[in-house]
Amino acid sequence: MKTLKIPEATITRLSVYSRFLSQVDQKGIVTISSVEIADGVGVSPAQVRKDLAYFGEFGTRGVGYNVQDLHMHILKILGLAQDWTVVIVGAGHLGSALTMYNGFRGRGFRIVALFDQDPAKIGSEYNGAPVLPMDKLKDIVQSKKVDIGMVAVPAEHAQDVADSLVDAGVAAILNFAPRVLSVPNNIEVRNVDLSVNLEILTFNLVFNRDYQKA
Amino acid sequence: MKTLKIPEATITRLSVYSRFLSQVDQKGIVTISSVEIADGVGVSPAQVRKDLAYFGEFGTRGVGYNVQDLHMHILKILGLAQDWTVVIVGAGHLGSALTMYNGFRGRGFRIVALFDQDPAKIGSEYNGAPVLPMDKLKDIVQSKKVDIGMVAVPAEHAQDVADSLVDAGVAAILNFAPRVLSVPNNIEVRNVDLSVNLEILTFNLVFNRDYQKA
DNA sequence: GACTGTGAAGCCATTCACAGCT
DNA sequence: AGCTGTGAATGGCTTCACAGTC
């Protein structure tokens, strides 16, 4: 069995391609070329072809790609042929906003519950998902076969929450807290760091500005 | 004047180092080595030294780095020696969560207003920031010298909002909508794509799972 | 003629390994 | 002896350019 290592950047782009293709599909367009995809998402055509080539031959030479067919293949590659079950720890502003966010449900992510240690929040419900106490976490993860936990608590509690999620049995964690988590290496972790992105912007702003005068 | 191109990954890490250093500083630790920083944030010591070396010599051979001194230098590099003025377009769940998020204010980002087209939302206030109608956007950006606009509207309105922000005069955009924005190339744009990160997780989950059985 | 799929080349980032300070 | 700063080596991703197919 031959195995190429897939660059993570390729996966990021596949996710972007897939959203672009769903737009294109909604317009009723049947066929698309690598150049058109590239223009639509701001990468090079060679990049598009190379990314797809890691996973097979989805196009027809001289013609291009069938939009629906390619879209379906990419969704499958990304693991979106199935639904995923998610819990969110932290029912504050961010946790509730994530629960209400439509971008997740539309792509097969089902948020089954939120968890919080604040008694005042427990018992309420967002978008059909109940807010439960932390001691129910393991029960729910096990009984609902939860795959993914999102960490939406302040930085100082993030590691404890991650430990609880690992103990409860999730396979992956999406961390919104601005702290590096340590977890066993069979657990997938990704960080969505809101400040980091802002700070890359500010770096670029001051950096360019300095060069204006150099 | 000699100019190296700085990898974007370096900037990302600097932002992470800086948060780690502020934790370390709070513990009263005065000196730190590249190995300790590396352990704390999960990168290699050589990487830490290389990242810092792009900007100068901040350490002392045989000793390490002075925590406060290094932290201050990194903040300066990231452009965080000054405050930045921000507006958020979209006063829905995400927009309001971003406004309440403490991680921004703590690092010098001041959110001065939100904008929304929904009359029902206009007039309310989050964390001291008023929700205003879109036709006030340009006024506020000009009068408050707003540097950065955040896009927190549904994907289908994201491009229009970006156009308005550019027209109003912001220098940079942080886009939370799952759509590729096109803007003049003197405007800095970064995307925080919540679904992309989830989908990298699911890809890794199915990918590894497939290999378990191969 | 048009467009994909892909080896090869080029480029960029990370790691190595050690010289240089303290 | 300990740790930084850095040229050189490595590894990985992107772009090039063209053979292959429709």
- pLDDT class of A92 with cuts at 50, 70, 90: very high
pLDDT tens string A114-149: 999 999 999 999 999 999 999 999 999 999 999 999
- pLDDT class of B211 with cuts at 50, 70, 90: low
pLDDT tens string B190-209: 999 999 999 999 999 998 76
pLDDT tens string A154-205: 999 999 999 999 999 999 999 999 999 999 989 999 999 999 999 999 999 9
Taking C1' of C14 and every protein CA, the nearest residue is B47
- B172 to each of A63, A105, A158, B109, B191, how far by Cα in Å? 39, 30, 30, 13, 11
Contacts of B117 (CB under 8 A, 6+ apart): B133, B134
Q: Provide the total of helices (H) and of strands (E) in chain A, helices listed first.
A: 9, 10
Whether the pLDDT of residue A209 is over 80: the answer is no
Nucleotide nearest to A46 (CA to C1'): D15
- Residues in chain B with CB shorter than 8 Å from the CB of A78 are 199, 202-203
Nucleotide nearest to A62 (CA to C1'): C3
Q: Please, which positions of strand D sit below 7 A from a protein CB? A: 1-7, 12-17, 19-22
> Between helices A34-41 and A45-53, what is the axis angle to 10°?
110
Mean pLDDT of chain B: 94
Whether the pLDDT of residue A3 is over 70: the answer is no
Nucleotide nearest to B60 (CA to C1'): D4
Q: Report the alpha-carbon distance of residue A204 to residue A191 in Å, rounded.
A: 21
Q: Is the CB of A34 under 7 A from strand D?
A: no
Whether the pLDDT of residue B214 is over 70: the answer is no
Element spanning A69, H or E: helix A67-77
Q: Report the alpha-carbon distance of residue A85 to residue A147 in Å, rounded.
A: 5
3-state secondary structure of A30: coil
The answer to whether B148 and B89 have CB atoms below 8 angstroms apart is no
Q: Report the alpha-carbon distance of residue B80 to residue B148 in Å, rounded.
A: 14
Q: Which of A88, A67, A125, A54 is nearest to B194 (CA)?
A: A88
pLDDT tens string B39-72: 999 999 999 999 999 999 999 999 999 999 999 9
Q: Which of B97, B174, B206 sits opposite A94 (nearest CB)?
A: B97
The answer to whether A203 and B77 have CB atoms below 8 angstroms apart is yes
Taking C1' of C22 and every protein CA, the nearest residue is B62
- Supply A16's token pair: 């972007």
Mutate to test the interface with B, among A201, A211, A212 (most CBs of B within 10 A): A201
